[in-house]
Every structure is written in C-alpha cells, then in structure tokens.
A and B are shown apart, each in its own frame.
Chain A
Amino acid sequence: MTWTLATPLVLPFLTAVLAFLARYGAAGRWFSVAGNAVLLAASILLMVRVLDQGVIAAQMGGWSAPFGITLVADYLSAVMVVITAITALAVSVYALTDIDARKERLGYHALFNILIGGVVGAFLTGDLFNLYVWFEVMLISSFGLLILGGNKDQIDGGIKYVTLNLISTILFLSGIGLLYGMTGTLNMADIARTLDTVENQGLVTVVAMMFMVAFGVKAAVFPLFFWLPAAYHTPAFSVSAVFAGLLTKVGVYALIRMFTLVFDGDVAFTHQILLWVAGLTMVTGVLGAAAQNDMRKILSFHIVSQIGYMIMGLALLTPLAVAGAVFYLVHHIVVKANLFLIAGVAERTAGSTNLDRIGGLYKSAPLLAILFFIPAFSLAGFPPLSGFWAKYVLVAAAIEDQGWIIAAVALLVGLLTIFSMTKIWAEAFWKPHPEGADPALSQLTPQARRHLLIPIAGLAAMTLVIGFSPDPFVTFAKDAAAQLLDPTAYITTVLGGKA
C-alpha cells in the first residue's frame, strides 16, 4: 500500500538526479522520457488501486495519523496524478527537440522532473504543512524553468511571476499557522474533523479567506491573475506547455480540496464569493484574450478564463457541479498543454507566434491544422469534443441550481472563446503568409517532426476519446464529486477508523 502511493512521488526525483548527472550528453533527455513513462505506469497502478478501494492512505515513516505525514489518494488525487504523468510524458518527448543543448546543460531536465515531483506531491499529500513544502518545490523549480536561458523578456516576466507567487506563499503559510493554532493539528482530515468544534467560527472564516487568496493567486483567478499573462509567453514552449497544463491546476486542486474538505462550515459566505470570482475570472480572461495578438498570449488569457469554469463548479457545490469541475480539470490540462505545444510547432515552421507575422499554415501544413483544430475547438466547447461535455455538465448544474446568471455567463464566455480560436485559425492557418513563405512541416528534420508531433497527436487523440465516449469519464467525475462532498471515507481512511 505504502509503495503504491510513494512510488509516483519518488520517481520524478530519481529521474531528476539521473538527468542532472547526465546533463552534458544526450542521455539526460532520454532519462527524462523513460522516467516519465515509468511514472505513468506507476500512476495507472495507483489509479487501479484507488478504483478498487475508494480511498487509500499511507503513513510515512511509521508515524500514525495525525502525528506523521500521511499520503492520501482519493478519486480526484488519483486522476490528477495520472493526468500529470501523461502531460509530463508528452512534454518530455516534445522537449527532445524543443530544448537545445545549452538549456540542457543548465539543467532543464532536472528542473522539469523536480517540478513534476512537486506537482504529484501536492496532489497526494494529506498534510497541510507538507502541501506547503510541495508548493515550494514546485515554485522554486518553476522559477528556474521560467528564466532558463535568461532572455530580457524572461527576466521581466520572471520578476512578476516570482514576486506575486511569493506573496501568495506567505499568505498560505500564515493561514497554516493560524489554523494550527485553532485546531492543534496539521493533518487535513484531522483538521476537517476538529474544525467544527472551534469556538471562534468567525476566525475560521477569516483563515478560509486567507487560503482562498493564497490559492487564488496560484490558480490565477480574478483579480489575482496578473502574473500569468505577464510570464507564460516568455519561456521555451515545453516549459509554457507544462506550466499552462499543470501549475494553475494545482491551485485549483488545492482550492477544491480545502473548500470541500476543510472549509465547509460557512458555505453561504465563502462559496458565494467563489461564485463571483468564477464569473469575473471567466469574463476578464476571455476579454483579455480578445485584445491580444500573439498565439501564446491569447492562450495564456484563456487559461485564466477556463479556470473560472472550474471555480464555478466548486462554488455551486452541488454533486453535478463538482463533477463538472473535476471533468473540466482533466479535459483542460490535456487541451491546454497541447495548444501550447502546437504554438511551438507553428513558431518553428512559420517563424513567430505573433499573428501578424505568420500565416498559410493550413495550406502548407494541413496536418498541423487538423491537430490544432481538435484542441482549439474542444476548448471552445464544440460538440462532440471533450470541452463540450465539460461545459455541458457545468451549465446543466448551474441551471439545476437556478444560477441563471452564472449559466448565462458561462455560455457567453464559450461564445467569446470561439472568437479567439477562430482568430488564431484565420490568422495563423487561413490567411497567406505575409512574407510569402510556405511554412511546411517538411522544413523540420524527420526526427524533429517525430518528437514534436507524436505528443501533440497523442494528446489530441485523448481529447477525441474523452469527447466521443464521455460516459465513463462523467461517471468517474460524479464518483469523485460524491467522495469530495461526503469526506467521511477520506477522514476514516486517513485516521485509521476514528471518524
């Protein structure tokens, strides 16, 4: 049991060490690919165990909960670990060509795998202080990846990213301190159990708000998202893809975890705020995207807008809505990482990501156009792609809950997303190249084509699979939501029978 939970956590760090030692040769990048393939196998094993037993927990170092650090996996954690491994594998294959030897010598593969380790740790831990440590692991390696190479715009974007994330970290840490002061424990299940007995429920709500702001910065919700569009378009494409896919989603995961398990006492207040935040995040993100003219900047603002949908699911807090949020998380990670990878290929073939300077990709690279079409229109919510079902579940949940306004906002934002996606389509793919070039994929060496297009095709295939057979995924998301909304199983498993 312990090994099933600990292996996905240990593997990325092992890979990082090997990749660091081999950073001067070609072996490092292959260590990264192999390590992430094994990670995927380990995470699928974990998923099988979780599907079999519901919630599984392991006490690290033999200290029983709530004294030691507990690793827990329920449906949500397990699916997040699997999707992290899939993204990591796709990006590590893409990085075989995308990352040059200079960045490899600077330790790209080591930092990348430490980042994955931090993400997996954040999904699996059941201890609040340990969650802080995993956030820090993730943060420091993401700093390194973001400014790797040291271009002017990377340093500039890096400063905004670093400063705002550090503030959120300190808020998170203070919140942990205050919560510990009230409950005397750091185990999340134990906190959930004892928090109701705290006399000063007003202070609990204050601390809940500190957590909401801290994770809100990480998840890039309105009005705390400014670091994201300032930074995400500056690093290498593999780095932006993994950031876009995973980092903000760890913030969303932490919000979902804390505001279903721990802070469920004053739902009328906290989740009302979350609902406003969700609506405003969707709208500002999509409007920000409409004003941009660079593929990666448009996509960055769309991350913000899409985060709003997930928060909306959490804010409504009905079983269907939370299921929608879980489904959205999974669909979004696959689609978003893929879109950034495609932007990378567009830059390689057509010379830029600025929409004014590129074009003609549809005529000269029809394969890339089809591969872009799938995630882009899934993001916009076209049936029968995965995004349609994600939005459908959420909007259905909102209407069921009589949240007419938020349902209308969600639909309108979907419409505006189509506007941005058709803009990229028309500018980058449809119109002729402004300099008369033919940006064909055959400009790339056959090896580069394999490395770049196989991960993109794989992720696009996943989007299609989720889109054409949504049933098992929706059923799974509903089960995950049921576990989140009734955390009894989670608490009993962690604390070993004492509910």
Chain B
Amino acid sequence: MEALLAITIGVLVATSVYLMLARNVLRFIFGLVLISNAANLIIFVSGRLTAGAPPLIPEGADGPVGDVANALPQALVLTAIVIGFGLFAFALVLMFRAYTTLGTLYSDDMRIAEPRTEDTT
C-alpha cells in the first residue's frame, strides 16, 4: 500500500513539475494544485497506513484498544487541504485578473513591474 502511494506521489510531482515549467500561468496553477495534493499524501503516508482499524474508543474505556489507525495525519491533511483550497482560489482569481488587466497569460510577457532595460530607454 505504501509503495503504491509512493508511486502515486511520484507521478503527481512529476506531472506538476512539467506543468509548472510551462510559460502559461494557468498551467502553472494546475501544477500547483497537483503538487499540493502530493504534499498532502506525503503527510498521510508518513503517519503509517493501517487498514480497517478506525481510531474509535469503545464505550467505557479510556483509550482505543489494540492497534488503530493514526488519526493525527488526517487532521493535518484536512487543515492543509482547507488552506490549500483558499490559496488556490486566490491564485485563480489573481490569474484571471492578470488576464483581464495585462491581457496575457504568458509569464514572459508580464514585464510591467520589471521592464526590460531596452524598454525603459
């Protein structure tokens, strides 16, 4: 199970790096979504995978009985997903705004804040 997830993470990272190397910022954003999900999976796997043992405490007991799944990484991933979603929404709107005000999605053409030297002279 760990191996399968490790390969999935690898594929996700490879795909997202390919996307993020594109000059089109929209592709870059999609790459960013994929790589943030890869990071979430890393946290999930580092908590070790335990199948079919929910961390539930039986009635009357003080703690879970026997080996149960680690619940902490899931809480962390949940937090990271929420934050990642917020950042992605912001980035998407920013790209849209860039497209409407700058008229381009290509990062090479975005030179207003740092004009080429030949443009300024």
Contacts and interface: CB of A to CB of B under 8 A. Distances in A.
Interface of A: 129, 132-133, 136, 139-140, 143, 147, 150, 152-160, 162-163, 166-167, 169-170, 173-174, 176-178, 180-182, 229-231, 233-234
Going nearest first, the 4 A-B pairs with the smallest beta carbon separation are A181-B46, A177-B43, A177-B42, A157-B113
Nearest to B16: A170
Nearest to B79: A133
Given A156-B102, A174-B39, A181 B47 contact: yes
A140 B39 contact: no
Nearest to B75: A129
Contacts of A176: 43, 76
B101 A152 contact: yes
A182 B46 CA distance: 8
B25 A163 contact: yes
* Range, interface on chain B: 35 or more
B102 A166 contact: no
B113 A180 contact: no
A174 B42 contact: yes
A155 B39 contact: no
Interface string B23-41: 0010010001001101110
Given A156-B98, A230-B114, A129 B87 contact: no
Nearest to A356: B120
A170 B80 CA distance: 10
9 contacts: A132-B80, A136-B87, A156-B114, A159-B94, A166-B36, A173-B43, A174-B38, A177-B73, A181-B47
Contacts of A230: 113-114
Given A162-B94, A180-B46, 10 more contacts: A143-B90, A155-B101, A156-B98, A157-B114, A158-B98, A166-B91, A167-B35, A173-B36, A177-B44, A181-B45
B113 A156 contact: yes
A177 to B, nearest CB: 4
B25 A129 contact: no
A180 B95 contact: no
B110 interface: yes
A335 B36 CA distance: 37
Interface in B35-68: 35-36, 38-40, 42-48
B112 interface: yes
Given A159-B95, A173-B43, A153 B112 contact: yes
A326 B86 CA distance: 34
Most A C-beta atoms less than 10 A away, residue of B47, B94, B97, B98? B94
B8 interface: no
A139 B90 CA distance: 11
Contacts of A162: 90-91, 94
A377 B67 CA distance: 64
B83 interface: yes
B58 to A, nearest CB: 21
Interface string B83-121: 100110011001101100110000100111110000000
B90 A163 contact: no
B94 A150 contact: no
Nearest to A147: B94
Contacts of B42: 173-174, 177-178
A159 B98 contact: yes
Given A129-B76, A152-B101, A174-B39, A234 B113 contact: yes
Nearest to B37: A170
Nearest to B76: A129
Nearest to A354: B120
Given A140-B86, A177-B42, A180-B47, A158 B112 contact: no
A414 B101 CA distance: 41
A162 to B, nearest CB: 6
A154 B94 CA distance: 11
Contacts of A174: 38-39, 42-43
